[in-house]
A and B are shown apart, each in its own frame.
Chain A
Amino acid sequence: MSLGRFLVRRIVHSIFVLLGLSIVIFVIARVMPGDPARMALGARAPQWVVDRVREQMHLNEPLTVQYVYWLRGALRADFGLSLVTQRPVTADIQEFFPASLELVLLAGLFSAVGGIGLGVLSARYKDTWIDNVVRVISYAGIVTPSFIFAILFVLLFGFVLKWFPVIGRLSEHTVAPPTVTGMVTVDALLAGRLDAFADALRHMVLPALALAMGSIAQEARITRSSMADNLGKDYIAAARALGISERVVMGRFLLKPSLIPTVSILGLDIAATLGVAFLVELIFNWPGLARYGMTSMLHKDLNAISAVILVLGVAFVTVNILVDIIVAYLDPRIRLRAARSE
């Protein structure tokens, strides 16, 4: 019961956040210099055509009315045409977003497993050489931008060792599975094509790992320090004093409370990755959302920019809700407090 109400409250809350974001996006798109109609039609279009398009785009109405029109379109997933691709922005997003999502989800998995794993290892062998190695790797991982890792991985695993492919989403000889979700791995599974699934996965390993490196480092550091903090707590001493085995103390009674900060940061990292993956997507020639967003910005493609930002906003909000649910599951104090304050 309490979790359900907690969830409803969070979703309602998020709707307001997204409304706020939509206003910001709209205002920025309208205060940018240049006439959107003229930009859409090009410099050589006759003035009367531009005027007619301005009429169609409701550009002569007051800003508030324009916003309502824009919002109505956004709610129907209609963002107009992209100047660059000359297609509906929605169609572009449908193509590029799943590609990014797939990559980011795998990166998230790498961060969770790698980050928590390294963090636990580091805390378990605190102040030994294992811990020191993990800590050095962590700091290196945090300060190194993901595109450096991307280039290094391409060179090392792609060209020298030839373990993984470095370009695109599928090999040339693999027939793409029918598009359902737009995520190749999922589509391959839906079509029962294990060969395509494996091939798609192999293509994702390097870019996902490059994207995850910073987050793995961050997660490892946070998990380690949080476990080290909690290791000195009385409840750990009490669990040990009452004869509970070291394995259970570490793996259960220490791990669960220590994961709370890790999960919070992990969620933010994953959501951020969606937006900042531009260079990694470029290096691996990955048709993703970050690349599309960056291209639209360089071309002042306002419709596409608004849509991309809104999609990223929705992704952020969704990830945050998920994180809140996981944290509430891990920490009864938050769950119970939320239920009580209703």
Chain B
Amino acid sequence: MSSTPLLLEIKDLHVHFAVYGGRLKVLDGVNFVMQSGERVGLVGEAGCGKTTTMKAILQVLPTPPAVIPCGEIYFKGRDLLKMNPNQLQQIRGRGISMIFQDPTAALNPVFTVGQQLKAVIKHSAVRGRPLSADEVHQRAIQSLQEVALADPERLLKSYPIQLSGGMRQRVCIGMALATNPELLIADEPGTSLDVTIQDQVLRLLHRLVKEKNTSVILITHTLGIVREMTDRVYVMYAGNIVEVAPTAGLFSRPMHPYTIGLMQAVPRLTGGGVSDGIPGRIPNYLQPPTGCRFHPRCPHVMDICRQEKPASYQVDDDHYVACFLYRGEEGKGS
């Protein structure tokens, strides 16, 4: 396992947003690793920095206001943050591709599906060997067929406004996969759709990445989807990774108080009904809490949590928790 080169490694990533009245310290030292072929989930409530982390990888955060004061992001051993625009463009699309949260916002309203999809395909061509117009067209058709869209010829000539939400989401998936990326970042695909369509879309995505053997980072706050689709899960809270574990391990033995709260917040069909969730809300990033950022909401808060930021403690094979409750257990698992 350790001999395989890491596909993606994020080290101590900080992202701040310079806004009127100060700096929003959104990401506070994110660490993240994944192997080639892995399917990794990233969960956490809205506003905890999941999308920011992913946009930072591809460097599509709007700058200004976003600034990255420190951190390293290695893709197959090369630091993306140190690349020039040309090198970065080579990685985007073919190396790493992304499905954005809201398909309606992610499609340009004044260009047809075909114009957008073809631009992506054209630019994903290997340098020096441009595709002919015909090849581009064929591949565009193929991309739409892959995501089970009927009548691709007509669709290529349609504008996003002429499509349903589900179709737009499929187009976005098709576009992200048209470049045959090694790593696909899927940011809450289907969240904006109704549940039945969402389920179809996710099943489709699941099947496609399996067929193509694409590595995936799946961002979601629906834990059921994580359970079904991922091998390993990162739990994020307020700009920190608070727990990492193999999917099965996380669900059988969640450890961080935040993860436990998250699991309890899931409404169940049998017994219990809807829980109260975790009291409180995501902190203000202008003046985030000292120490562990979760301490104001934590039921097990101790003195040390208010002063120091917890390290990531290994509690089992591949299971890490950033919480002082587990300080003593470090090293026990391995």
For residue B295, CB closer than 8 A to chain A, the reply is no
B108 pairs with A253, CB closer than 8 A:
yes
B161 close to A246 (CB less than 8 A): no
Per-residue CB contact flags for chain B residues 118-144 toward chain A (1 = under 8 Å, else 0) read 011001100000000000000000000
Q: Does B179 contact A (CB under 8 A)?
A: yes
Residue B167 interfacial (CB < 8 Å): no
In the complex, residue of chain B having the shortest beta-carbon distance to the beta carbon of A231: B62
How far apart are B92's CB and chain A's nearest CB, in angstroms? 4
CB neighbours of A232 from chain B (8 A): 62
Among B93, B100, B112, B123, the residue within 8 A (CB) of A237 is B100
Looking at B64, B92, B110, which has the most chain A CB atoms within 10 Å of its CB? B110
Question: Of residues A127, A234, A260, which shows the largest number of chain B Cβ atoms within 10 Å of its Cβ?
Answer: A234
Total B residues in contact with A, Cβ cutoff 8 Å: 39
Q: How far is the CB of A111 from chain B (nearest CB, A)?
A: 22
Residue contact A330 to B159, C-beta cutoff 8 Å: no
Q: Interface digits, B61-102 against A, CB 8 Å rule (1 contact, 0 not)?
A: 110100000000000000000000100011111101110111
Instruction: Report which of A127, A242, A257, A260 forms a contact with B175, defined as CB distance below 8 A.
Output: A242
A127 to B98, CA, bound (A): 29
**B269 within 8 Å of A by Cβ?**
no
Contact of A248 with B by CB under 8 A: yes
Q: Which of A122-156 contact B (CB under 8 A)?
A: 127
Q: A234-B100, A244-B119, A333-B161 are in contact. Are A239 and B108 (CB under 8 A)?
A: yes
A240 near B110 with CB under 8 A, answer no
Would A235 and B62 count as touching, CB distance under 8 A?
no
Is the pair B108, A336 in contact by a Cβ cutoff of 8 Å? no
A32 on interface, CB distance cutoff 8 Å: no
Contact B159 A332 (CB under 8 A): yes
Residues of B within 8 A of A35 (CB): none
Distance between B133 CB and nearest chain A CB, rounded to angstroms: 16
Instruction: Pick the residue among A240, A243, A336 that contacts B94 (CB under 8 A).
Output: A243
Partner of B119, one of A248, A330, A336: A248
A235 touching B105 by the CB < 8 A rule? yes
* A61 in the interface (beta carbon within 8 A): no
Contact of B221 with A by CB under 8 A:
no
The contact size tier of chain A is 20 to 34
B150 cross-chain contacts in A, Cβ below 8 A:
none
**Cα distance A260–B109 in the bound complex, in angstroms:** 12
Chain B residues, CB < 8 A from A51: none
Residues of A within 8 A of B93 (CB): 241-244
Contact B105 A241 (CB under 8 A): no
The answer, yes or no, to whether A331 is at the interface (CB within 8 Å) is: yes
Per-residue interface assignment for chain A, residues 19 to 43, with 1 indicating a CB less than 8 Å from any chain B CB and 0 otherwise = 0000000000000000000000000
Contact B110 A331 (CB under 8 A): yes
Residues in A neighbouring B97, C-beta threshold 8 A:
241-243
Indicate if A256 sits at the interface (CB-CB under 8 A). Answer: yes
- A336 lies within 8 A of B110 (CB): no
Cross-chain contact B123 with A253 (CB below 8 angstroms): no
Roughly how many angstroms separate A241 CA and B88 CA in the complex, as a whole number?
Answer: 10
Q: Which A residue sits closest to B162, measured CB to CB? A: A336
Inter-subunit contact A332/B161 (CB<8 Å): yes
CB contact list, A292-342 vs B, under 8 A: 330-333, 336
Q: B120 contacts A240, CB within 8 Å?
A: no
A232-267 near B? 1/0 per residue, CB < 8 Å = 111101111111111010001100110010000000
Chain B residue nearest in CB terms to A232? B62
Query: Contact partner of A242 among B101, B112, B120, B159, CB < 8 A?
Result: B120
Partner of B108, one of A231, A235, A241: A235
- Which B residues are CB-close (under 8 A) to A332? 109-110, 112, 159, 161
Q: Write the nearest CB–CB distance from A91 to chain B, whole angstroms.
A: 46
Are B110 and A330 within 8 A (Cβ)? yes
Q: How far is the CA of A279 from the CA of B60 in the complex (A)?
A: 50
Does any Cβ of A come within 8 Å of B302's Cβ?
no
Report 8 cross-chain contacts, Cβ distance below 8 Å, ordered by A residue. Answer: A234-B100, A238-B60, A240-B92, A241-B92, A242-B92, A242-B124, A243-B92, A246-B89
- Nearest 3 interchain pairs by C-beta: A243-B93, A234-B105, A237-B60
Given contact pairs A238-B106, A239-B119, A243-B93, a sample of 12 additional A-B residue pairs in the complex whose CB atoms are under 8 Å apart: A237-B100, A238-B172, A239-B120, A242-B120, A242-B179, A243-B90, A243-B94, A243-B120, A243-B124, A243-B179, A253-B119, A333-B159
